[in-house]
Structure 1
Amino acid sequence: MNTVSVVTLAKGRPDHLANVVLGLCRQVQPPAELIVAVMQDQLYVLPEAPFPIRQIVTTGGALPLAAARNAAARTATSDMLVFLDMDCIPAPDLVADYAAGLAELDGLLMGEVMYLPGGATRDGWNFDGFAAVAVRHSDRRGPPPAGIERCNDYRCFWSLNFAMRRATFLAAGGFDERYFGYGGEDTDFGKMLDGKGIAIAWMKGGLAYHQYHRHHMPPIHHLESVVRNAQLFEAKWGYRTMGHWLHAFRLLGLIDDVEGRPIRILRDPDADDLALTGQQSHQPYSNTTTVIRILEERARQRDAGREPGTAGEAQTAQAVA
């Protein structure tokens, strides 16, 4: 049997990482090891597990996500790699599903992700309880009805929960480590794989449950890194990525992104911006599409000479579509 290493990146949220370990302890096919690329000075205190857990400290700018994934992949010793976000609790079949999928397809496989509301992991948890309350993200497509389905648009790649054969990942060159902070490195990696003819595919199974944490969509709390990484992507590939986020930033008056010249940050996000984009505790995930609809409606009202309405928007912007 080919072995599977699970790799994850971690900064803060120790309870979330502990739940990842507990989820891996309940696998029908346990991983050979867990590699944690730690993006902070202090290592984690983690639950006991029936497999080795190795923590490696990765430094280099704020949130060196690309470098951390590469370092974890190089450290891993198994034939297959499962890349799992530290907020994602793996369902019992996740490792086995990916092992079977990668035996069939030498490419990148993306498993399922369901989102949990706040409080779902308090006072102990079980997978039946998760299944009863978890929801799918309205901005993300679901899995195929069965098996593996090729994705013909590299922009679909999302690093929250995916797997590759280790040799294929390393031969492809891994993530571009010039990206740091939030945004851009996933699309860059997907485009690179597409150019090399390496398949990107959805699969039924490989399910993980995303734990609630406070977030903003669009990610205005990562404004500077999104802008920097969008311009890095443009310099490399000839066009910008993260267009929906940049569109929202422009509607908010945060940036000037006229085509043909560098993006300018006009101001920092304020309390109203944070309220509009912030995820509420009862909402399993944050939602860029809903915020853009509100901002575009505000713009239409201004164009019509009316005062834009804002009452209740902060409470409704992130409602699940």
Structure 2
Amino acid sequence: MRDVSVLTIAKGRTEHLHNVVRGLAAQSIPPRELVIAVMDDLPYDLLPETPFPVRQIHVTRTDGELPLSAARNAAAVHAMGDVLAFVDVDCIPHPDLVADVADACHPGRGLVMGEVAYLPKGATDKGLQFNIFDRIGVRHSDRQAPPRFGLMKCEDYRCFWSLNFAMHRDDWALSGGFDEGYYGYGGEDTDFGRVLDHRGIDIWWMKGAKVYHQYHDHCMPPVHHLHSVVRNAEYFASRWGHRTMGHWLHAFHLMGLIDNAPEGLTILREPDAADLDMCRQTEDMPYANSRRVMDKLQAELGTEADRRRAAEAGEAAISAIAAE
């Protein structure tokens, strides 16, 4: 059995991180270690006890932007296991996650994406009750369902997202890791998927290796990250010849936040309270959904001709919504 290092990156979210640690302590096969890339000034203290070591490493930027790519890369550098299992700080691992990825990830397999179930607000108030999580957790409506069993090839690199994935360290080395030219929010996942596709490294959907996404306030499209989304979309274009996050950029354009011109993106104004309210996940939603907001924006356009033009302009962007 290959040993597994579980890696997470964290800024704030202390209670979420505690639940990640508790979930790992409940594994049917314990991980070799947990490596936390801390994007705050100070390490986390008073973490729950575990039967495996927990190591924290410090990764920050002087400008305060989130160094998501650099943090994942740093965690991988410090990991010692054969398999690198990346679990976001807001995701509680199912008790069989470590066993599942240990079995699935061998040299040459590529990248494996596990299942994700979104929990409603308050789901963890009484602790980790996995049988209840299985009953109330839901799949994101814009995400691919897992296969009935085993693995299923993912044919579109844009569908990769870093919420819950694992690779053998040999395949990670072949990938080169995440491009650290991305910082703040957005773009680095699609770039990583594009690199894997370019280098012939397979991406797989997996039945199992499940995590439960903990509820937290969020906006989608991410208007609260307007500047970093715009910057990272242009950086992606400098590498690959076209922008990514097109569905978000289209929404920002419909909201009057940006001029989405082929020759360059221009921020026209800052998001206001109305923009945030439109995009914010409400307490009755287990997850935020860009499609809901984009449908609303297009429905509110003034004339049928306006709606038709907007729909045509956004068709390619909306087709990529599964990669948000």
Q: TM-score range by the shorter chain?
A: over 0.9
How many Å separate the matches in 1 of 2:148 and 2:229? 34
TM-score by length of 1: 0.92
Match of 2:321 in 1: none
Name the aligned partner's letter for residue 67 of structure 1.
A
Alignment correspondent of 2:68: 65
Q: CA RMSD in A?
A: 1.4
- The offset of 1:123, in angstroms, is 2.8
Select the residue among 236, 240, 248 that pairs with 2:239: 236
Distance 1:59 1:13 in 2: 16
- Deviation, structure 1 residue 131: 1.4
* Alpha-carbon distance in 2 for matches of 1:172, 1:120: 36
Correspondence for 2:54: 53
Amino acid at match of 1:220: V
**What letter matches 1:283 in structure 2?**
M
Secondary structure (helix, strand or coil) at the match of 1:257 reads strand
Q: Answer yes or no: is 1:279 the counterpart of 2:281.
A: yes
Which amino acid counterpart does residue 38 of structure 1 have in structure 2?
V
Runs of 4+ with deviation above 6 angstroms: none
Cα separation, partners in 2 of 1:200 and 1:48, compared to 1, 3 Å = same
Residues 302 and 220 from structure 1, CA distance in 2 versus in 1: closer, same or farther, beyond 3 angstroms? farther
Letter in 2 for 1:52: P
Q: Which runs of 5+ in 2 are unaligned?
A: 308-324
- Letter matched to residue 119 of structure 2: L
1:256 is paired with a residue whose SS is: strand
Structure 1 unaligned regions, length at least 5: 306-321
- Find the residue that maps to 1:121 and give its secondary structure: coil
Which residue number corresponds to residue 295 of structure 2?
293
Q: Which residue of 2 aligns with 1:89?
A: 92
Q: Which residue of 2 aligns with 1:44?
A: 44
CA contact (8 A) 2:72 2:178 kept: yes
TM-score w.r.t. structure 2 length? 0.91
What residue number does 2:255 align with? 252
Shift of 1:246: 0.5
- Please say if 1:212 is aligned against 2:218: no
Matches of 2:197 and 2:227 in 1, distance apart? 28
1:198 and 2:217 correspond = no
Alpha-carbon distance in structure 1 between the residues aligned to 2:35 and 2:106? 22
- In the TM superposition, residue 302 of structure 1 has moved relative to its aligned partner by 8.1
Task: Verify the 8 A CA contact 2:115 2:164 in the aligned structure 1.
Answer: yes
Write the mapping of 1:126-275 to structure 2, written as runs, cut at 5 A: 126-259=129-262, 261-275=263-277
Q: Deviations over 1:128-177 (max 9, x none)?
A: 11112111101111101111111111101010000001122123210000
Match of 1:14 in 2: 14
Deviation (angstroms), 1:282: 2.1
Q: Between the two proteins, what is the percent identity of the paired residues?
A: 58
Deviation at 1:300, TM superposition (A): 4.5
- Residues 157 and 197 in structure 2, CA contact (< 8 A), matched pair in contact too: yes
Q: What amino acid does structure 2 have at the position aligned with 1:49?
A: T
Q: Which amino acid aligns with 1:79?
A: D
Structure 1 position 72, deviation (Å)? 0.2
Equivalent position SS for 1:8:
strand
Q: Does the aligned pair in 1 maintain the 2:217–2:280 contact within 8 Å?
A: yes
Match of 1:125 among 121, 128, 132: 128
Letter in 2 for 1:289: R
Larger CA deviation: 292-301 vs 248-257: 292-301
Corresponding residue of 1:107: 110
**Which string of whole-angstrom CA distances, capped at 9 and with x for unpartnered residues, describes residues 181-218 of structure 1?**
00000000000011100001101001000000000000
- Please give the alpha-carbon distance, in whole angstroms, between the structure 2 residues aligned to 1:282 and 1:152: 33
1-structure distance, mates of 2:129, 2:111? 29
In structure 2, the CA distance between the partners of 1:133 and 1:301, relative to structure 1 (3 Å rule), is farther
Question: Structure 1 residues 106, 301: closer, same or farther in 2, change over 3 A?
Answer: same
**Could you tell me how far apart the structure 1 residues matched to 2:275 and 2:15 are?**
29
Distance across 2 between alignment mates of 1:13 and 1:32:
23
